Amino acid sequence: MNSNDYFTDITVKSDKLFDYLFFLPKDNIPWIEHFGFDAFYLDPLWIQQDKALSIVNDLYPIKQIGLLKVNPNSVYDWHKDFYRLSSLNMLISYDHISHCLFGEHRSIEESIKPDGGAFMIDIVELKYKPATFYLFNTRKYHCVINFEQPRYMFSLYFNEEIEYNLLKQTLSPILPPILP
């Protein structure tokens, strides 16, 4: 499995938003439900205030930004987003163990269960780095496994949905060089 098929970091770091969200007191946030997450919409002014988001927005306009929460000791189960084609995410909480996994069912006949599911799934983990945004292929199976503390993640919607590989081409000026 090639991780670039699932996620890609951008080379410009968050210069203001990460610190704001990291230190934001989260106990009194008016969370709302959003596709199983607790969500909090952020002021769109952050799109221009954060250098990385400003550059992304100039290359491909951003519609909405927000903070998502996964509760402790829980799993956001394997899924493909049906409501968006790709996204840009940044992990905010680094004080405990959590995992973001992408996976594909093995096609080997022995690994298929009678109901058509798979006994085995090949995985690749997105190991987030602080203050780093990642292009996220939401049309591939992914899940979140979270332990001990709430997990906070920044995410966004673009003005128009865009397929992950086309988004990589559009944002290529701020992506790492592709190695052969």
* Range(s) of the domain holding residue 87: 3-171
Residue 180 has pLDDT above 60, yes or no: no
Q: What is the CATH number of the domain that holds 53?
A: 2.60.120.10
Could you report the per-residue pLDDT of 64-90, keeping only the tens digit for each?
999 999 999 999 989 898 889 999 999
Predicted structure pTM score: 0.90
pLDDT (0 to 100) of residue 150: 95
Given pLDDT bands bounded at 50, 70 and 90, which one contains residue 125? very high
Q: What is the total count of domains within the chain?
A: 1
Is 178 within the bounds of a domain? Answer: no
Q: Does pLDDT of 113 surpass 80?
A: no
pLDDT band at 151 (very low <50, low <70, confident <90, very high): very high
The answer as to whether 179 is a domain residue is: no
Higher local confidence (pLDDT), 12 or 28: 12
* Average model confidence (pLDDT) across the chain: 91
Predicted pLDDT of residue 129: 96
Please check whether residue 177 lies inside any domain of the structure. no
Please indicate, yes or no, if residue 165 is contained in any of the structural domains: yes
Look at residue 177 and tell me whether its pLDDT is greater than 90. no
The string of pLDDT tens digits covering residues 35-46 is: 888 999 999 999
At residue 104 the predicted structure's pLDDT band, cuts being 50, 70 and 90, is: confident
Residue range 13-29: average pLDDT?
A: 94
Distance of CA 151 to the CA centre of its chain: 12
